[in-house]
Structure 1
Amino acid sequence: MDRIDAMRLFTRVADRRSFTEAAHDLGIPRSTATQVIQQLESRLGVSLLQRTTRTVRPTLDGEAYYRRCLAILDDIEDAEGAFRGAAPKGMLRVEVQGTIARHFLLPDLPDFLEAYPGIEIAMSESDRWVDVIREGVDCVLRYGSLPDSDLVARKVATLERITCAAPAYLRRYGRPQTPDDLVHHRAVGIRLVTTGALTPFEFVHAGSVKQVELSTPFSATGTETFRSAVLLELGLAQMPVFHVERDLAEGKLVRVLADYKVPSAPVSVLYPRSRQLSPRVRLFIDWVVQRFAGSRSAP
């Protein structure tokens, strides 16, 4: 068995968590599968799989090798498919922020998968900064400003943000009329996962952005927890409109300081600069751009 076939076997064992099932899938004896993995581990000089009486799972080295194998096997599949004129297929690994995925992507995702039945999407949710090369991620969708990196960043939308609060909070603390009134108020804060820094309150004034400091007794890194805290009357917040549109319509939240514009925030799709985009990644990115084309962008 050559190296490529050994990689295919290893990824199948890692996926199935079983030598027996992986061997059955590939139509080879279990003893052959075991021998090939042992030879692979010997050549690499590391243990790739942790074996117990009930299951098999990748070690830390195995996880890293698994991600690299997937990327290599996908590249081979893409190269051969291009010459055959085949429809794009294979696993597409995407990292997104949960609220972005649920609001903009998931509603139309069935249509994408129906149009390209050979593509499988593995979508993970987080706000952390992802090492796309090491973790084998094809592309990342992010809301907000981006740190410097070697990734290509393509802006797909600019979303409106507003200042808002729960009605009960405003009855208790009063409704601010200008940003100067915020000295008497408290905020629900959102912190960056990458640095832990608290995102400041900002307003556009005379063509420049002015930051306002508020007492922030509670802050969160997760967007759903952030929103829940605002609904629980813990303070004012600045949030993207799409995230609270229903809450505003139902009267659970109220917009304040409407005459003082909050800086808008971009949504970007990121992918490795050093790698040629595979057909399925290119298709997905173009589809994402279309999904945001009809979204509510900042004026």
Structure 2
Amino acid sequence: MDSLGSLNVFVRAADARSFTVAGQQLGISSSAVSKAIVRLEERLGIRLFHRSTRTVTLTPEGTLFFERCKRILDEVEAAETELSQMQKMPSGKLKISLPSVGMLFMPKFAAFNRLYPEIKLDISCSDRIVDVIEEGFDAVLRTGDPRDSRLMSRMLGSYRQVIVGSPAYFAAAGFPEEPEDLVSHQCLLYRFPTNGKLNVWPLNRDGKKIELNLPCNMVTDSLEPQVCFAEHGLGIACVPNIAVYRQLKEGSLVTVLDKYNESSTVFRILWPSSRHLSPKVRVFVDFMAENLLPF
């Protein structure tokens, strides 16, 4: 019996605490199991089991050897599974959750779908906190640090909130030079749909947060109205820079108070921890890590 095979016999016998049960699992006789263990002990020059008429138990040396062998066999199994899965074209339903800002990423999702047409996307866009495992999501995109130890994560990039308005609005109302100037402007505010709280604009001076009671010209729980109203010269909005990438590039919106705004938010992809990552999740994670950010 080869070395890997003898290790497998040893691990099965140690797990079952029985040569008979191990033999049944492997499809060989208990005598064959016993002989394989004896040969292994002779090769190692150490006793691995205490034997009695009814059970077998590991010696202290056997316990240490068992822990190492178990890890080795697990790695071999994982490698075989990964190689086997690589031969298959990823397919099946992929259930994904995104925050509302994730609507901006739909062109990237469309590109993924073109690349992997056999994967059927099931996309949910919501700012509510989802239970990834209980609700059966294959992967979720979220901001901030992961808080669930049952999940694996990979950083996709970062974005920042910017304070923007149209050139026409600033031509009429003037540019705010200091954060406090905002109280005399029309502000377009965002309300979180999960808790009803208003988004606090990330303003600070010398490392200290600046808290302002901003006048509200419009409040919404969606980014699109904010961006639309700002483009039409109806006020100033605080939005993710990825939400106004095109507008900033074309000049229909401009940023203000940049020196008082040092916000940065990390975007991550999370998925349920598993020893064997399915092909559809693996290619999705890799694609998003390579293509999602920057725009």
TM-score of the two chains, using structure 2 as the length reference: 0.61
C-alpha deviation, 1:82, in angstroms: 4.5
C-alpha deviation, 1:198, in angstroms: 0.6
The SS at the match of 1:130 is coil
CA distance, structure 2, for counterparts of residue 202 and residue 84 of structure 1: 45
- Alpha-carbon contact 2:159-2:241 (below 8 Å) kept: yes
For structure 2, which runs of at least 5 residues remain unmatched after alignment? 1-80
C-alpha deviation, 1:208, in angstroms: 4.5
Structure-2 change in CA distance of 1:248 and 1:80 (3 Å): closer
**Aligned equivalent of 1:87, options 68, 86, 89:** 89
Whether 1:231 aligns to 2:231 is yes
What value does the CA root-mean-square deviation take over the aligned residues?
3.2
- Alpha-carbon contact 2:108-2:292 (below 8 Å) kept: no
Matched letter for residue 162 of structure 1: V
Matched letter for residue 218 of structure 2: F
Structure-2 change in CA distance of 1:237 and 1:117 (3 Å): closer
Write out per-residue CA displacement over residues 33-53 of structure 1, whole angstroms, 9 at most, x where no aligned residue: xxxxxxxxxxxxxxxxxxxxx
Matched letter for residue 271 of structure 1: W
Question: Looking at CA atoms only, which structure, 1 or 2, has the larger radius of gyration?
Answer: 2
Structure-2 change in CA distance of 1:108 and 1:125 (3 Å): closer
Matched letter for residue 284 of structure 2: F
Structure-2 change in CA distance of 1:84 and 1:257 (3 Å): closer
Structure-2 change in CA distance of 1:200 and 1:273 (3 Å): same
Q: Give the structure 1 partner of residue 168 of structure 2.
A: 168
Q: Give the structure 2 partner of residue 6 of structure 1.
A: none
- Alpha-carbon contact 1:127-1:222 (below 8 Å) kept: no
Q: Give the structure 2 partner of residue 132 of structure 1.
A: 132
Q: Give the structure 2 partner of residue 269 of structure 1.
A: 269
Mapping of 1:43-62 within 5 angstroms?
none
Write out per-residue CA displacement over residues 223-272 of structure 1, whole angstroms, 9 at most, x where no aligned residue: 21221232233321222222212222333222212332341222122323
Whether 1:122 aligns to 2:122 is yes
Percent identity (aligned): 31
Structure-2 change in CA distance of 1:109 and 1:127 (3 Å): same
The SS at the match of 2:268 is strand
Q: Give the structure 2 partner of residue 96 of structure 1.
A: 98
Matched letter for residue 258 of structure 2: A
Q: Give the structure 1 partner of residue 213 of structure 2.
A: 213
The SS at the match of 2:193 is coil
Mapping of 1:11-90 within 5 angstroms?
82=84, 85-90=87-92
TM-score of the two chains, using structure 1 as the length reference: 0.60
Matched letter for residue 213 of structure 2: E
- Alpha-carbon contact 1:161-1:238 (below 8 Å) kept: yes
The SS at the match of 1:175 is coil
- Alpha-carbon contact 1:204-1:263 (below 8 Å) kept: no
Matched letter for residue 287 of structure 2: W
CA distance, structure 1, for counterparts of residue 82 and residue 240 of structure 2: 43
- Alpha-carbon contact 2:165-2:255 (below 8 Å) kept: yes
C-alpha deviation, 1:137, in angstroms: 1.8
Q: Give the structure 2 partner of residue 8 of structure 1.
A: none
CA distance, structure 2, for counterparts of residue 148 and residue 167 of structure 1: 41
Q: Give the structure 2 partner of residue 106 of structure 1.
A: 107
The SS at the match of 1:133 is coil
CA distance, structure 2, for counterparts of residue 174 and residue 117 of structure 1: 51
For structure 1, which runs of at least 5 residues remain unmatched after alignment? 1-78
